[in-house]
Amino acid sequence: MKILYSLFCLLILSSQSCFAQKVRYTDTTNVWTLTWDYWGDSSGPSVWDKKYIGDTIHNGIQYYIQEYGIVPFFWVREDTAAGKVFYLESVDSVEKVLFDYTLAIGDTFISNNPYYTYSQPHRFILSSIDTLFINNVPHMIQHFDYIGSSYVMQDHTLAIEGLGCLEGGRMLIPPHPNPGSMITCFQNQGVHPIITPGWPPFFDNIGSCEPLKISEKIHRNILPTVVPNPATDLVSIVWNRSISTGHLMITDIVGKVVAEIGLVNKDKAALSVSDFPPSMYFYRIIDHDGTALYSGKFIVE
């Protein structure tokens, strides 16, 4: 009886582990909804889905064919052992690195985004690494600073393991005068996985997957200011417009709500963090209808 019970437990654990796996970028069930909108363009946003539409063998290697907006095809393969995703612009092109999850802070990454490279590739430096949870499974977030000819734009863009780049859809892009394309909804295995914490400024995969939210006109918000950051006793968050009715929600690194403050005609909020264990925390400023207006992070020391 004990042997049977042990086997039963092993079966239960193994079945649970099957459902507790990281999302892979080349999972053929993935569907990314991207919204494109020029800043100030009165025509409104354009919405399209990016998905896999087949596969092919090239030089003895299997690639998955990804449909991507204006450019109809994009060949991708994922090497989980090497921690990298590779791509081809066409079947006769040279393979390049799309994502590299083995980079250390301070490493430089070269982006060959065909829409934004112009005459030369663009350089980014990995400035920090965080964790995001997709269905409670941790995925790496890489924050990149853009390295220009005479300047560095800090915290410019990010890549999420298994999901891709939030802005631009598939790879790092340099600073751009309009919001460009943003992921506003993500599907895996035919459902919208829970993504925590919701990521600024638009994507949380819950409210953002509602049709009305996706079709809303996208404009880049001025991100809130958090002072001091890191904090020890008191932290203040200031944003760029007054909220008539809403609330501020603070979650820890695993998505647990640790504080919540109601907002009425407020453009700033302050809270004590003296009892918070030292860690990274995430905030979301939510309107009365559940729309996440702003979100970001801060550190408690």
- Answer for the pair 258, 279: CB distance below 8 angstroms, yes or no: no
d(CA 171, CA 80): 18
Find, among 276, 61, 13, 50, the residue nearest to 184 by Cα: 50
d(CA 57, CA 55): 7
Asked whether residue 64 falls in the same domain as residue 148, the answer is yes
19 lies in a domain? no
14 lies in a domain? no
Asked whether residue 194 falls in the same domain as residue 54, the answer is yes
d(CA 198, CA 40): 26
Segment 266-285, tens digit of pLDDT: 888 999 999 999 888 888 78
d(CA 9, CA 111): 47
Six-digit token string for 183: 């992921």
Q: What is the pLDDT of residue 184?
A: 85
Asked whether residue 113 falls in the same domain as residue 196, the answer is yes
Percentage above 90 pLDDT, the chain: 27
Asked whether residue 205 falls in the same domain as residue 64, the answer is yes
285 lies in a domain? yes
Range of the domain at 251: 225-300
d(CA 185, CA 165): 13
Segment 12-42, tens digit of pLDDT: 344 333 446 899 999 999 999 887 765 444 5
Tokens 């090239």 -> residue: 58
Asked whether residue 122 falls in the same domain as residue 179, the answer is yes
d(CA 64, CA 41): 34
Six-digit token string for 129: 């690494």
Asked whether residue 151 falls in the same domain as residue 230, the answer is no
Find, among 132, 63, 65, the residue nearest to 95 by Cα: 63
Six-digit token string for 67: 């449909």
Asked whether residue 123 falls in the same domain as residue 247, the answer is no
pTM: 0.67
Q: Is 150 exposed, middle or buried (0-12, 13-18, 19+ CB in 10 A)?
A: exposed
CATH number of the CATH domain containing 264: 2.60.40.3080
Asked whether residue 150 falls in the same domain as residue 41, the answer is yes
Distance from first CA to last CA of the chain, Å, rounded? Answer: 51
- Answer for the pair 84, 96: CB distance below 8 angstroms, yes or no: no
d(CA 87, CA 142): 19
Residue 167, pLDDT above cutoff 50 = yes
Quote the distance between the C-alpha of residue 255 and its chain's center: 15
Averaged confidence pLDDT in the chain: 79
Range from 68-72, 76-80, 223-227 carrying the lowest mean pLDDT: 68-72
Total domain count, the chain: 2
- According to DSSP, the β-strands at 31-37 and 46-58 are antiparallel
Element (H, E) at 48: strand 46-58
- Answer for the pair 44, 217: CB distance below 8 angstroms, yes or no: yes
Task: Average the pLDDT over 63-83 and give the result.
Answer: 83
Asked whether residue 256 falls in the same domain as residue 208, the answer is no
d(CA 157, CA 145): 7
Segment 179-222, tens digit of pLDDT: 567 788 899 999 999 888 877 656 788 777 877 666 664 544 44
CB half-sphere exposure, 185, CA atoms < 13 A? 23
Asked whether residue 229 falls in the same domain as residue 210, the answer is no
Give the residue, 252 or 296, on which the prediction is more confident: 252
d(CA 180, CA 106): 27
